[in-house]
Amino acid sequence: MSTASFLPAASRARRRPGLRRLAAWLAANACDPRAGLWLVIGFAAAHAVLWTLILINLKAAQDVHMDVAEAFAWGQKFQFGYGKHPPLSGWVAGLWFKVFPVADWATYALAMTTLGCGLVISWLIALRVVDRRRAFFVVVMLALYPIFNFKGFKYNADLLQLVTLPLVVLAYLNAFEKRSVKSGLWLGLAGALALMTKYWVLTMIGAIGLAALLHPDRLLFLRSPAPWVAIAILAVAMLPHLWWLREVDFVPLTYAGDVYGLSNRAQSIQLVLGYIGHNLALLAIPVALAALALAWRPLSWATLTRRPSAWFARNWSRGANTAVDLPQARNIWIIQAIVAVGPPLGGLFFTVYMKTDWGISLFFLTPLALAAIPALRMQKMALVHLAAIWLAITLAVLAASPWIAAKEMAINPNGAATYGARSELARELTLAWRARFHSRWAVVAGTTEMSEPLAFYSPDHPAPFTPGEVWSSGLTSLDEAKRLGFIGVCDTTDGRLPICEAWMKANGKDAEQLTITTQRFFKGRPGPAITWKVFIVPPAR
């Protein structure tokens, strides 16, 4: 035998045992009761750090999203509600920015930390349904789901649901299994925490209630104290927020009806179809990559030609599967089916403006629902393959992220909403206020898209006030704005400019009027030059 033919075979022989050792190490740690937790925490932390770095690069030419700036503003004043939503997302942002600086990178770190916590909680859920090998596989699938990376760049109430809703599901599975007073207590508290995030979580809470009623073992659960204790604790825990709702005349419900109510049935159908297509497309990515990881194995071309199904044959087998807890798997299947079908049907029936982002929190159980199929068999190498796919994609995107950011700006250089330099305007207005009044800038008035970013980027972090908004956040008021003085800003690219100017002139009769133009440059590329009409209203004497 020649040396030329011998060396490749030796190389392959050395490589295969190395991969087997890696697979054995990963499977052993994933299956170990002690090491498994640290493996998942380490994976979630690595995912959060790497994607924070990616987002810093991807969004370098942009200011933070309006939702992020809004959550920051809410967190400057702890209340039991903020006009549009319950308070938890604002509380979390407030606590976060007491520790971290008010900077773009910290917002992306907050978003990824939120998702990292969601990954760990989802693993704890999976442990109650499948074995540890499958549970770790589920976590890596979630990390490949775009909601947990690309689409998870903006921290808001929708994203925070990826912590609070998994907590509700985890508490329900625990209560369903233990059926004790204590488990009911935790379920009630988890439900209250979720409701304090966003009222949309009622879809998941309703799905859990239906799952309890439809499950074959429902009588065991319903005859126990757990569900009734949970309902009582939930009601008691929500009392402060319910009192706040009464005090503000239920303005969040007014907000939901005014903003998301539709009268056009055809438009509602179109939006529902868009919602379905959007979420199916996002889910297709982790499902396809997981299928590839499960099916991949060395096969000869002759085998593939004769029997293409050989890629998948070894992963399916009939018969009992001790890796799956069927009673708990049924809970997951029922819950996921209800939250997948219920909201689109509700959107059609009630003619609701269905936002694609509403699906962010509803499909974190899909990987587990698939991994819990009893006929599915999972080899050790599948963990290595999927983890390798995650690492390769993550590192590739990290390397390409500066180029992607520059390319996006080159494609849409005049996108005022995306590349408008509000951060620069905030700094200029802060200096202007301090130069005139030698005091902190306390209130900024303008549309939500305008005032929230200025509140974030100004070193004084003025309270945002939105003229004419029925569902006021409660952070300040018109009377307080007139007493402390305010800066009003109108965006000349906004179609609501005439309304904005009229309000400013009516409520700031002594205002000094300025015109300021800002423009951002990123890697030599100019962004849109935007002119802002500014009204500086002095404090009351």
The DSSP bridge partners found for residue 490 are 533
**Rounded CA gap, 427 and 84, in Å?**
28
Residue 5 has pLDDT above 90, yes or no: no
Question: Read out DSSP for 447-473?
Answer: -HHHHHHHHHHSTT-PEEE-TT-SS--
Q: How confident is the model at residue 1 (pLDDT cuts 50, 70, 90)?
A: very low
The pTM of the full predicted model, rounded to 2 decimals, is 0.92
- Compute φ and ψ for 487, nearest 5 degrees: -110, 125
pLDDT tens digit sequence for 410-429? 888 888 788 989 999 999 99
Report the phi/psi class of residue 421: left, alpha or beta, with left for phi > 0 and alpha for psi in -120 to 50: beta
Question: Read out DSSP for 323-375?
Answer: TB-HHHHHHHHHHHHHHHHHHHHHHHHHTB---GGGGTTT-TTHHHHHHT-TT
Q: CA of 398: how far to CAs of 48, 58, 275, 409, in Å?
A: 13, 9, 29, 18
Q: How confident is the model at residue 26 (pLDDT cuts 50, 70, 90)?
A: confident
**Rounded CA gap, 66 and 456, in Å?**
9
Average pLDDT, the chain: 91
Which pLDDT score is estimated for 3?
A: 44
Which pLDDT score is estimated for 18?
A: 65
Residues 6+ apart with CB under 8 A from 111: 55, 68, 152, 153, 154, 155, 159
3-class state of residue 307 by DSSP? coil
For residues 236-255, average pLDDT: 92
**Rounded CA gap, 505 and 491, in Å?**
15
Which pLDDT score is estimated for 311?
A: 57
For residues 295-322, average pLDDT: 65
Q: 474: how many CB neighbours lie within 10 A of its CB? A: 18
Which is nearest to 150 in space by CA: 261, 51, 236? Answer: 51
For residues 393-416, average pLDDT: 92
- Compute φ and ψ for 321, nearest 5 degrees: -135, 105
For residues 27-31, average pLDDT: 86
The DSSP bridge partners found for residue 443 are 463
Which pLDDT score is estimated for 313?
A: 64
> In what helix (H) or strand (E) does residue 488 lie, and over which residues does it extend?
strand 486-491
**Rounded CA gap, 320 and 325, in Å?**
11
For residues 191-197, average pLDDT: 97
